[in-house]
Amino acid sequence: MKHWHTLLLALALFNSAAMAQEATIRKNLTQRLPSLPAIDSIAPTPMKGVYEVRINGSELMYSDANGDFVILQGDMFDTRQRLNLTEARLNQLTAVAFKDLPLKDALVTVRGNGTRKIAVFSDPNCGFCKRLERDLLNVNDVTVYTFVVAMLGADSQTKAKNIVCAKNPSEAYSDWMLDNQTPPTRSCDTAALTRNLAFAQKHRITGTPTSFLADGTRIGGADIKAIERGLAAQR
C-alpha cells in the first residue's frame, strides 16, 4: 500500500512539473513572439529538453524547455529508427477518416479480393504518382480509390477532364499513368474534379501523391514500403 502511495505521489509531482514547464514555454513564446498564432498544444519530444509546439491545427515548431530558443522550420529525425518524427507527427495530425472521403468522386480499381483499402490523391502529370501507380500493380487484394486532382497547371486540368470523361475513366487513367496513352478529348460533367480539389485544399493536401489508409493514416509521396506496411495491418 505504501508503495502505491509513493508511486501516485511521484506521478502527481511529475505531471505538475510538466504542466509548469509547458506553462513557462507558452508564456514566454506568447510574450516574446506577439505575431505567433495561438498555441494549440505543447508536448515533450523524444529529444531531451526539446518540446513540440503546435499552432494552426497542424503546424509544428520546436522549443527548448524555457522558450528561449525555437526552431521554426525543419524536421526532427530519429537516426536509430531512420524515422522522420516530424513527418510522422504531421501525418497523425492531418489524418482523414476513410468514411469522410468522398468515395463517389474517386476512380475505383479492385485487385484480387479488394478487401484492403487505400485512397490516393493524384495529378495526371505527377511523376511520383506514375511511379506509385506502377508499384501498386504489385499489391494484391486491395481496392484503390484514386482522386484525380489537377494541381500542376493547365495541362493537368485538361488531362484530368479527359480522363474522368472517358468511357472507362479508371482504364483511361491507368493507360495514361502506366503507358503514356493520352486520353482522347471528351466533354462531360467534371464537377467531381472541382470537389476533389476543394477537399484537398480543405485537408491541406498540397502535394501528390498523397495517400490515406483505412485507419485514416496519411502517407505523403510514393512511399510504397510505408503503404505496404499499412495495408499489411488491414489483413
Q: Are residues 77 and 127 in the same domain?
A: no
Distance CA 203, CA 201 (A): 5
Helices 224-232 and 127-136 meet at what angle, rounded to 10? 40
The last residue of one of the domains, among 93, 117, 152, is 93
Q: Are residues 118 and 178 in the same domain?
A: yes
What is the separation, in whole angstroms, between the first and last Cα of the chain? 44
Please give the residue range of the domain that contains residue 59.
2-93
What is the number of domains present in the chain?
2
The last residue of one of the domains, among 35, 64, 93, is 93
pLDDT single digits (tens) 141-191: 999 999 999 999 999 999 999 999 999 999 999 999 999 999 889 889 999
Q: Are strands 210-213 and 116-122 parallel, antiparallel or unpaired?
A: antiparallel
Q: Are residues 212 and 226 in the same domain?
A: yes
Cβ neighbors of 146 (< 8 A, separation 6 or more) are 106, 107, 108, 109, 119, 120, 122, 170, 173
Distance CA 118, CA 151 (A): 21
Q: Residue 29 is part of a domain; what is its CATH number?
A: 3.10.450.70
Q: Are residues 76 and 115 in the same domain?
A: no
Q: Are residues 34 and 103 in the same domain?
A: no
pLDDT single digits (tens) 180-230: 999 889 889 999 999 999 999 989 898 999 999 999 989 989 999 989 998
pLDDT surpassing 90 at residue 77:
yes
The pLDDT of residue 224 is 93
Q: Are residues 105 and 32 in the same domain?
A: no
Q: Are residues 48 and 102 in the same domain?
A: no
Q: Are residues 116 and 223 in the same domain?
A: yes
pLDDT surpassing 90 at residue 21:
no
Phi, psi for residue 81 in degrees, rounded to 5: -90, -5
pLDDT single digits (tens) 22-63: 899 999 999 999 999 999 999 999 999 999 999 988 889 999
The last residue of one of the domains, among 59, 76, 93, is 93
Q: Residue 146 is part of a domain; what is its CATH number?
A: 3.40.30.10
pTM: 0.75
Q: Are residues 157 and 170 in the same domain?
A: yes
Q: Are residues 87 and 117 in the same domain?
A: no
Cβ neighbors of 150 (< 8 A, separation 6 or more) are 123, 124, 156, 157, 159, 160, 193, 197
Q: Are residues 180 and 217 in the same domain?
A: yes
Peptide bond into 209 cis (omega under 30): yes
Confidence of residue 81 (pLDDT cuts 50, 70, 90): confident
